[in-house]
Chains A and B, each alone.
Chain A
Amino acid sequence: MPLRLSPIAINREQVQLWVTKPVDFTVSAVAESEGNWNYVIENDVYRLDPTKADSYGKTNFIDPSRTYPFDGNLATRGSYVLTNSTTWVEVDVGVDMSTPNRYLILWKFDGLATSGSAGYVGLFASEDMVTWTLLWNANMRSIGMIYYVLIKPVRCRAVKAMAYNSVGGSYYTYLSTYELSLYKV
């Protein structure tokens, strides 16, 4: 599968690898433009079509009825999924690519936490569906915010979103994914 970056973003051998010494690139912004992922690496603008992602059309293994994360549309999402768990639990979205590969991961979601609590949302990756490593984490604010996340290529088989709330009880962490795209690199 070819690398779908235009212009060529990086020497593929120098991409940040999982458990190898990295050669850096700096991502200065991630957003969207005309239905495509849009991000900037060292002053070069890259656009990726979400319908060309290797994860496009895949089953959401956290909840197969929630199809928005893999519909190739950056503008659509389902209702919020919420948790009052005080430990990490799966929420909203996960995809199993069946075989481990190196993937560039882009994620757009809306998240928040009940005022007076800290809500944590993380993206985890696994090579074997047993050990899951946190790749990215953010504390949610008390008003809904859209987050764009770009994970430099990592070797994995699956990724999933997890969340928890610092207080629990009547305090919740909310999450709703617009799109989760994995591109084989």
Chain B
Amino acid sequence: MARMKVPVQRVVRDNEVLVVPQVDPSIPEFYVLNVEGDEAEIEVPETVEVEVLKRELENLKRRVSELEKAVMPRATA
């Protein structure tokens, strides 16, 4: 499982304080392992990590394809 450190937001709500790690919304599921001060350590399950990496791969493929199309006319000019 992948681990990462993220900043923590403290939200005051009624008479409570919510301690919420700020995680990229592209990560669909995570566990909070520890909170120390303004930093939290989170863990992303392997199944989720695969999903996130596949999405990143698709985005990279799309980006490469866009760049190739942009470069191609210049190369043939």
Residues in A lying within 8 Å of B, measured CB to CB:
16, 18-19, 22, 26, 87-88, 118, 122, 124, 130-139, 151-152, 162
Contacts and interface: CB of A to CB of B under 8 A. Distances in A.
7 contacts: A19-B36, A22-B34, A26-B1, A133-B18, A135-B31, A138-B29, A139-B28
Nearest to A16: B33
B17 interface: yes
Interface of B: 1, 11, 13, 15-21, 23, 25, 28-36
Contacts of B19: 131-134
Contacts of A151: 31
Given A135-B31, A135-B32, A136-B32, A88 B25 contact: no
A88 B18 contact: yes
A18 B20 CA distance: 15
A158 to B, nearest CB: 11
A138 B23 CA distance: 11
Given A88-B18, A88-B20, A124-B18, A136 B13 contact: no
B15 A88 contact: no
A171 B19 CA distance: 25
Given A19-B35, A26-B1, A88-B11, A131 B30 contact: no
Given A130-B17, A134-B18, A151-B31, 10 more contacts: A26-B1, A87-B11, A130-B15, A131-B16, A131-B17, A133-B32, A135-B31, A136-B29, A139-B25, A139-B28
A162 B30 CA distance: 15
Contacts, number: 54
Contacts of B1: 26
Contacts of B15: 130
A87 B18 CA distance: 11
Contacts of B29: 136-139
Contacts of B23: 137
B33 to A, nearest CB: 7
Contact of B17 (A16, A132, A162): A132
A138 B16 CA distance: 22
Contacts of A22: 33-34
B22 to A, nearest CB: 10
A49 to B, nearest CB: 24
A130 B16 contact: yes
A113 to B, nearest CB: 12
